[in-house]
Amino acid sequence: MQAAALHDPHPTRTTPRTDPTVEDPVTASDLIVDPRHRTDWATGAVLGDGVETLERRVADLAGVFADGAALAALDPELLVYRTECVFPVPDGTEGGLFWGTTFIQPGRVGEEYFMTKGHFHATSDRAEIYLTYAGTGLLVLMSRDRTCWAERMSVGSTHFIPAHTAHRTVNVGDDILAFGASWPSDAGHDYASIAADGFSARVLRIGGRPALVPQ
Ligand code: PAN
Ligand code: ZN
């Protein structure tokens, strides 16, 4: 028993060892433990120890959308998107990973669909993975030379965001767009470059359909 305790990979565990929703098919053992987190594949919800949530409401998004008057006409408290993330190591740790889910509400500001602020990684050569759980969207990508393109997001779509590439997600559907992300814990987020120069294209509703429109 002493040896097993020494090998417990999660000595600070605060959740019960046994998840009542999962039948235990393996022999009881102190060396085999439950995961610290679970993701609900239908919704993208992240469950478990120390999940941190962050909300972005209309009031937090001044300057993000093209139509400032349309943004000002919305309730400042209206939720645009939120995240549920796990940070298992301190921010800035080399060799670690963070992950979490982003949920973007359906909606528009004028003719521009609800979307994230978007960023380059502050450590610019760090890449990222996205995986869509629910809804439909566009992942807008922009290289350092300001070339912009987009990938369609739908359930199961899996996206590699290369290093040195700004990324923003746009909900073009009528339901919540939920996608998982995992990125290096020393990536950081450079929002200032996007606040200053924006993306070189925006996703607008044209003829009832989303289009990536160069600005
Ligand atoms: C994602 C994003 C998340 C919210 O986890 O941080 O979708 O978008 P903004 O950070 O642009 O507001 C990610 O890309 N992390 O690196
Ligand atoms: Zn990122």
Q: Ligand 1: does its nearest atom lie under 6 Å from the Cβ of 117? A: yes
Look over the chain and give the mean of its residue pLDDT values, rounded to a whole number: 91
- For the domain that residue 122 is a member of, what is the CATH number? 2.60.120.10
Asked if residue 127 and residue 102 are part of one domain, the reply reads yes
Q: Specify the higher pLDDT residue, 19 or 45.
A: 45
Kindly report the pTM of this predicted structure.
Answer: 0.89
Q: Ligand 1: does its nearest atom lie under 6 Å from the Cβ of 183? A: yes
What is the count of structural domains for the chain? 2
pLDDT tens readout for residues 22-42: 666 667 777 888 999 999 999
Asked if residue 180 and residue 113 are part of one domain, the reply reads yes
Asked if residue 173 and residue 95 are part of one domain, the reply reads yes
For the cut 50, the answer to whether the pLDDT of residue 10 exceeds it is: no
Distance 12 CA to ligand 2 centre (A): 28
Please report, in angstroms and rounded to a whole number, the separation of the first and last CA atoms in the chain: 64
Residue for token pair 């393996």: 26
Domain containing residue 19:
1-33
From the alpha carbon of 85, which atom of ligand 1 is closest? Answer: 5
d(CA 200, CA 20): 49
214 neighbors 202 (Cβ within 8 angstroms): no
Asked if residue 58 and residue 22 are part of one domain, the reply reads no
- Name which of 12-16, 80-84, 134-138, 152-156 the model is least confident about: 12-16
Distance 209 CA to ligand 2 centre (A): 26
Pick from 79, 177, 182: nearest CA to 137? 177
For the cut 50, the answer to whether the pLDDT of residue 8 exceeds it is: no
From the alpha carbon of 187, which atom of ligand 1 is closest? Answer: 16
pLDDT band at 4 (very low <50, low <70, confident <90, very high): very low
d(CA 77, CA 79): 6
Pick from 112, 92, 123: nearest CA to 168? 112
d(CA 61, CA 50): 26
Asked if residue 197 and residue 144 are part of one domain, the reply reads yes
